[in-house]
Structure 1
Amino acid sequence: MIDISEIVAEVNTLKQQLDHAQLSYRDSNLKSRREIVILKRLITRLTIACRGIDNELDNTLQSITHDLEQPLEISRLIPRLAIVERLVTQQADVIQHQNNHLQQQINQRSHTLIQHQNLPMSLQQDLDHLVSQQPTTLLDNHQRIVRLLELYERSIKSLTATDNKNTLSNDNQPNFSVELVAELQQIITEIDFINDQGQQLFSIRNQLAQGVDQQTLLALLVQVLRLIVSGTHNERYASQRFLNTLNSDLASLQKNTAKTASSFSVLHQHRHDFNTGISTIVSNIDQQLTTPEGITASWENITYELQQLAQRNSQLEQREQALIEQLNHTDNKVQQLQQQTYSYRQRLSQQEQNIFRDKLTLTYNRSAFNDRIEHEYQRWLRYQNPLLLVLIDIDNFTQLNNDYGHHAGDKALKIIAQTISHQLNPTDFIARFNEDAFTLLLTDIDQQQCQQLMNNIQTAITQLPLHFKGQSISISVSICTSFFNHNDTPKNVIQRIETALRHSQIQRCNTVIHQ
């Protein structure tokens, strides 16, 4: 018999559990709503704070803000929140890099103003105070920029009031002229005009190497620009002429090919008719040779028909010979076009090599390096294969040029470039990074292989038998390596190894640093 009291007790227990579950659900629901409100508020403030920094970040935050207004599960937003986290981290690194660059530029411009001799003492003291500040945020640097502009305005007014004809730019004019000469020489080196413009540009480069005054430099600059424009027009005209000739020859070949195909079709039909005629004559001969009378009566007809067939066969042979000559002419034309196209392609390839090759060391130049590192960086982002950047700087290279001359420095650069290249695999990339440094891009290499390779390069360069002015010279290099990791970009990796290598060379040379 069922005990009613037990049933009542069990029902009460279930009721209590239900009430507890309802309370828990209510608390969880309220907590979830509060979290959604907090998340909405955070996303809204983050959207406002990050607005205008990055388009992808703006679009992602706006999309999340819109979705938060809809009834959906928060778990569905987790992938996009992860994207926001990655973008925010990247932007933080970018802002930090920009802040450092901005701080460096402010200090440099402040020092430029300080070095001017005609500024009032109070203004120089304000500039010294501006340089001595140690900003920690981007906002601090923005305030320093405003202050620097105020000081710059005061400097202009002060210089104008004293009627000083020496402007701030005059202090940097010699350096500017030197940099302009170097840039012009580099541009002329990368241009590959094989016409009169090329010879004139080569003469200008030799003239720049011997040294020119400012007025001559400006005149040569204008002349270089005119020669580049003129040479470009000539190159474009030559290309258009080549393409027009190629188009005309191809149209002629197409016409001749169509005519030859039509002639072959007609010739084929005539051959068919000729064979049909022979078959008819053979059939008539078989019929007429059955009796002696038929042989005598048809002999003249058979002879006449055979003569006609011989004439038709001769005409067919003449047509075949004409078609063969036409085909030979077409084949020669095609070979000429092939040769012209190959020569043109070889010239374009040579021009491309001249653009992306360093003339002295025959390694790739900085432009080629910029293109290659961007390509390898995109591959690294996609596949996450190891990507190593190496900077190799020649120790005391300026002293070598001063002691033994620039010819000795050029010879050393060539030999060192060859030595490094011999240590690399065919798929590795080497470029001249600046005057006395080379950079390497290596893929599919681990840390141990990297250390061994750098030691081999350093040892091989140290053991080079270099002789200048009857003296044996020992050259060493300092090396810095860094793998791409996490949120790295080509700019911050380059900056990282440059900074590390510069600090290392201050302490001692002939070192290898692994970042």
Structure 2
Amino acid sequence: MNQPTSADKEIIALKKKLDSAIHARLELQKDLEIQSSAFVQFISKLSQTAKGIDVLLDNKLAKLRKMLSKSSSWEDVQAMFNDIAQLLQKHSIKNDNNIAHLHQQFHQAGALLQKIRNLPDSLRRELRTLLTDTTDKKDSVVQYVSPLSQLIEFYQAALIAKENLPSNELSNVTPPKAIQNPYVDKVVIERFTFFLTHLNVSKPYKPAINKIKSELSDKISHQELLDDFLEVFEIINKDLIEERNTAKVFLSTLSATLSSVQTAVQTTISSNEASKTKHSELNQQLKKNITELAEGVENANSLAGIKIDINEKLKQIVTSLEEKTAFEFEQFKALSEQLNSMQEKVNILEVQGRAFEKKIKEQQARSYQDALTKLGNRAAFDDYFTKQMVRFHHSPFELAIVVLDLDNFKRINDTYGHTAGDKTLQVIANTLAKSVDKEQFVGRYGGEEFVMIYSNYNKEKLIEKLNEIRLKVAKLPFKFKNNSVSITLSIGVTHIVENDNIHLAFERADAALYKAKESGKNQIIYA
């Protein structure tokens, strides 16, 4: 019979699909680890920025960092998320109330000062101007430092006038300068912008992150930045919860489907064992009938007796054969139904698996792509270069690593702003991508530094190609605030040699890059 063989083939096919599902789960776990790492970095930066605002908040964030480092259960981490979100929300409300109260007290004090007699006209005018300029409520407490300092000076001047002190003492009273910058430090804004640029979130949440990033400026208050932190925190939390729920649904479905398939396979195996026993019994019965028929013929005394005996034995044989045929048909029917049922479940699992595999590939692509330039990021470079090094050591070929850096890039950021800097990086990245063959790799290593991997290019051909790229970049027409700006590249390059490893080769190319910088920039150094 061929049925057991077909069942074995189905079991082998199911095992392969199970292995594929397990592999998909491992890929999902790897992607979640990458996202978790980014989230841990964000929590650390949030802790540094929010330090000192609230002791309880500091303690909660420290506890959250500890929980993440120890891989605590998601339920515990999520509970801590909710606690921190509530604290931030309470702090935001409390801060708004404090600002409203401070604003009210400030104007009440100013109104009382205006009622003081003998207040010099010039001082009264300056006080009126101050109160008019501060009609609208400020965004943060720190923005009241300068107005309050001025108000104190006005009170001092009023006391001097009331006590009829010499005018020369009054003339020494000058409106104070702001003693503290009401806006967030530029370095903090740059770090937060860098984090948002490299933050990988699902597609539905990208517009919200881009909106927050676009609204960042050097004139953002501490309260506004805190609100942005809270919003980003909530976005990351929602994204992680959705990813986790998607994985849970798929893995739950996978588990249920595989359990039912396993049960069906076990039932099939048990049925096959019972079938073998039944077949054995039927075969023994047929063998017995045929043996009895032969013995009857041998021992018969007359032809008439033989005829009667043969007819009886043939009837028994026919009955046994019919029973065997009927049993085989029922057995085949049952096996066919079981296989069809398993196939339906596997088909459903395959559809879900393909959808989940697509999602994993999209997530992996995001984790390997630089968010700003759309080139490969450092992780993509490490993966590609590692594979190429393995190929090289197995069968040597021309393999080179190129490190490029934009000359005087900081000047663009400082002079024209980070938006101009980001646009510059995007144009350079697009130019590099269009200048290399499909067989070569180009990526952003970090900041204004790019890397390229060239295969099957000797030294002369490679330097000629890199000079073409260098000249092409130098001719790009950059214009910021009606000023034409020229961007040049310094380039370090080296070929992989025997006994090289990834770190040695990169350090050699990087050292060549710095030599190009020190030698006047806008040139290529081969090491």
TM-score, length-scaled by structure 2: 0.50
2:259 to 222, 247, 251: 251
The change in CA–CA distance for 1:450 and 1:166 in structure 2 (over 3 A counts) is: farther
1:295 to partner: Cα distance: 1.3
CA contact (8 A) 1:416 1:461 kept: no
- Asked if 1:324 corresponds to 2:336, the answer is yes
Q: Quick one: distance in 2 between partners of 1:374 and 1:217?
A: 40
**2:304 aligns to what?**
292
Q: Quick one: distance in 2 between partners of 1:365 and 1:392?
A: 14
**2:244 aligns to what?**
236
Q: Quick one: distance in 2 between partners of 1:344 and 1:252?
A: 20
2:224 to 193, 216, 227: 216
- Asked if 1:500 corresponds to 2:515, the answer is yes
1:288 to partner: Cα distance: 4.4
Classify the secondary structure of the residue corresponding to 1:392: strand
The change in CA–CA distance for 1:508 and 1:267 in structure 2 (over 3 A counts) is: closer
Classify the secondary structure of the residue corresponding to 1:357: coil
1:454 to 463, 466, 470: 463
**1:365 aligns to what?**
377
After TM superposition, the structure 1 = structure 2 runs for residues 429-468 of structure 1, keeping only pairs within 5 Å, are 429-434=441-446, 436-441=448-453, 449-459=458-468, 462=471
After TM superposition, the structure 1 = structure 2 runs for residues 259-298 of structure 1, keeping only pairs within 5 Å, are 259-288=267-296, 291-297=303-309
The change in CA–CA distance for 1:491 and 1:166 in structure 2 (over 3 A counts) is: farther
CA contact (8 A) 1:462 1:475 kept: no
After TM superposition, the structure 1 = structure 2 runs for residues 315-354 of structure 1, keeping only pairs within 5 Å, are 315-354=327-366
Q: Quick one: distance in 2 between partners of 1:360 and 1:288?
A: 95
CA contact (8 A) 2:399 2:456 kept: yes
Q: Quick one: distance in 2 between partners of 1:387 and 1:302?
A: 83
1:329 to partner: Cα distance: 1.8
Classify the secondary structure of the residue corresponding to 1:430: strand
Classify the secondary structure of the residue corresponding to 1:363: coil
Classify the secondary structure of the residue corresponding to 1:364: coil
> Unpaired segments of 5 or more residues in structure 1?
1-162
- The amino acid of 1:459's aligned partner reads E
**1:202 aligns to what?**
207
RMSD: 4.9
Aligned residues, how many?
334
The change in CA–CA distance for 1:277 and 1:375 in structure 2 (over 3 A counts) is: closer
1:417 to partner: Cα distance: 2.7
The change in CA–CA distance for 1:318 and 1:211 in structure 2 (over 3 A counts) is: same
Q: Quick one: distance in 1 between partners of 2:425 and 2:290?
A: 89
Classify the secondary structure of the residue corresponding to 2:264: helix
The change in CA–CA distance for 1:318 and 1:377 in structure 2 (over 3 A counts) is: closer
The change in CA–CA distance for 1:491 and 1:463 in structure 2 (over 3 A counts) is: closer
Q: Quick one: distance in 1 between partners of 2:290 and 2:387?
A: 76
- The amino acid of 1:208's aligned partner reads K
1:416 to partner: Cα distance: 1.8
Q: Quick one: distance in 2 between partners of 1:399 and 1:174?
A: 15
Q: Deviations over 1:217-252 (max 9, x none)?
A: 321221211221232233234323433332333233
1:432 to partner: Cα distance: 0.9
1:258 to partner: Cα distance: 1.6
Structure 1 or 2, whichever has the larger Rg, is: 1
Q: Quick one: distance in 2 between partners of 1:351 and 1:420?
A: 27
1:396 to partner: Cα distance: 8.0
1:256 to partner: Cα distance: 1.8
Q: Deviations over 1:69-98 (max 9, x none)?
A: xxxxxxxxxxxxxxxxxxxxxxxxxxxxxx
**1:417 aligns to what?**
432
The change in CA–CA distance for 1:434 and 1:304 in structure 2 (over 3 A counts) is: closer
The change in CA–CA distance for 1:371 and 1:286 in structure 2 (over 3 A counts) is: closer
My pick for the range that moved more, 369-378 or 475-484, is 369-378
- The amino acid of 1:329's aligned partner reads S
- The amino acid of 1:238's aligned partner reads T
* Structure with higher RCO (Cα < 8 A, 6+ apart): 2
1:376 to partner: Cα distance: 8.7
Q: Deviations over 1:288-311 (max 9, x none)?
A: 466222313553563355235414
CA contact (8 A) 2:400 2:455 kept: yes
Q: Quick one: distance in 2 between partners of 1:257 and 1:238?
A: 28
Q: Quick one: distance in 1 between partners of 2:389 and 2:216?
A: 41
Classify the secondary structure of the residue corresponding to 1:353: helix
CA contact (8 A) 1:458 1:476 kept: no
Classify the secondary structure of the residue corresponding to 1:358: coil
After TM superposition, the structure 1 = structure 2 runs for residues 130-169 of structure 1, keeping only pairs within 5 Å, are 166=179
1:261 to partner: Cα distance: 0.9
- Asked if 1:481 corresponds to 2:489, the answer is no
The change in CA–CA distance for 1:452 and 1:304 in structure 2 (over 3 A counts) is: closer
> Unpaired segments of 5 or more residues in structure 2?
1-175, 480-484
Classify the secondary structure of the residue corresponding to 2:525: strand
**2:196 aligns to what?**
184
CA contact (8 A) 1:480 1:497 kept: yes
Q: Quick one: distance in 2 between partners of 1:387 and 1:414?
A: 22
Q: Quick one: distance in 2 between partners of 1:207 and 1:361?
A: 19
**1:227 aligns to what?**
235
- The amino acid of 1:454's aligned partner reads I
- Aligned-residue sequence identity (percent) comes to 19
CA contact (8 A) 1:413 1:436 kept: no
CA contact (8 A) 2:513 2:525 kept: no
The change in CA–CA distance for 1:492 and 1:463 in structure 2 (over 3 A counts) is: closer
1:328 to partner: Cα distance: 2.4
